[in-house]
Amino acid sequence: MHMTTPGLAHDACADDPTWRAIQTFLPSELRFGPGLMPTSSFWAWQGHQVHLDRFAQPDSPVTLVLLHGVGTNGRQLSLIVGGPLWRRGLESVAVDLPPYGQTRPARGVTVTYDDWVRLVCDVIAAERRRSGRPIMLFGLSAGGMLAYHVAAIDRQVAGIIGTTFLDQRVPLVRDATARNLFMSRVGGALAASLAGTPLGRLAMPMRLASKMHTLVNNPAVLRIMLRDRSSAGSWATLRFLHSYLSYQPAVEPEDFAVCPILLTQPGADRWTPADLSAPLLSRIRRVAVRTVQLAGAGHYPLEQPGLTQLADAIDAFVRAPGQ
């Protein structure tokens, strides 16, 4: 298989100390360096300068688009997914959704979850034009459900992989993922009532709205990530939170027939255990749905053997998605 050397262009994340600190806790073979580094670029979308992290592979059978959730960013996905898959001959592009990572949001715009869905739809359309390859989606945390929402609109995605699939319309899911019941019920109702008003632009730390303290199981890494405003230390507006919690998919699970789905469930996930994906996945009957458990891995997985199992599962799914 033809292998190319990534990372020859300027790295927009070069001055970001967070991923460099995180990677010291990863196995040495996963750490970025001269022979393993994604190519960093920007893509203009509706006034936003969207940062993309790409591991290019000309002979890859698919392009995997990597989607973070509300506590991580694209470079952090490149570390644990993009690099390992590049070693296996697979191309990936990780997207920094505004205002996460190195993306430069449009001035004066209040981003909603609906914007995230539209942005990713346009990213994958651009990727198809660029390479002509099938597109698969990988989503970490809230990125898993984002992948489902995008696929339900796009209708051409070849496969979906997620570490969890959270239908926030389900009270059980909302209660379990919010910081506490007060934030789930009272906070959710307040966001709904204010989202359409000027007060909808008010923002709050995601660590107060959610169980961000369970993002990663290593306390030292958690402290690093919570200090990072481009990932776990991010803030979200009431308008974004309401749009995230109330988003209506273009296709409900019973009618979803776009592509196979793989749940790569971290085995030591203290935020979103497997039963929180059941309300969505148990309703899907028209496509194959498989689950692989990642032994010992946290919500943002840093642990072995879970990391290797994640790469193994994605690689196998890409090669034979319906099996």
Q: Does the structure show a pLDDT above 60 at 4? A: no
Average pLDDT over the chain, rounded to an integer: 95
Rounded mean pLDDT of 182-199? 92
Strands (E), 46-90: 48-55, 63-67
Q: Does the structure show a pLDDT above 70 at 200? A: yes
Question: Helix and strand tally (H, E) in the chain?
Answer: 13, 10
Q: Is residue 209 included in any domain, yes or no?
A: yes
Amino acid 10: pLDDT: 66
% of the chain beyond a pLDDT of 90: 92
Residue type, 150: V
Lowest mean pLDDT among 91-95, 102-106, 133-137, 189-193: 189-193
Q: Is residue 1 included in any domain, yes or no?
A: no
Domain extent at residue 21: 17-319
* Count of Cβ atoms closer than 10 Å to residue 205 Cβ: 15
CB 140 within 8 A of CB 166: no
Q: Is residue 6 included in any domain, yes or no?
A: no
Q: Is residue 4 included in any domain, yes or no?
A: no
Q: Is residue 181 included in any domain, yes or no?
A: yes
Read off the pLDDT of residues 205-227 as tens digits, 9 standing for 90 and up. Answer: 999 999 999 999 999 999 999 99
Q: Is residue 5 included in any domain, yes or no?
A: no
Q: Is residue 186 included in any domain, yes or no?
A: yes
CATH no. for residue 29? 3.40.50.1820
Among 263, 266, 261, 262, smallest CA distance to 307 is for 266
CB within 8 Å of 321: residues ≥ 6 apart: 136, 158, 159, 259, 260, 262, 288
Q: Is residue 144 included in any domain, yes or no?
A: yes
Query: Two tokens at 103?
Result: 């993306």
CB within 8 Å of 308: residues ≥ 6 apart: 84
Read off the pLDDT of residues 5-45 as tens digits, 9 standing for 90 and up. Answer: 444 446 889 889 999 999 999 999 899 998 899 999 999 99
Distance of CA 181 to the CA centre of its chain: 25
CB 274 within 8 A of CB 263: yes
Query: Two tokens at 213?
Result: 């303290």
Q: How far apart are CA 79 and CA 82, in angstroms?
A: 6
Rounded mean pLDDT of 124-150? 97
What total of structural domains would you count in the chain? 1
CA torsion sign for 56, 97, 101, 311 is negative
Amino acid 6: pLDDT: 42
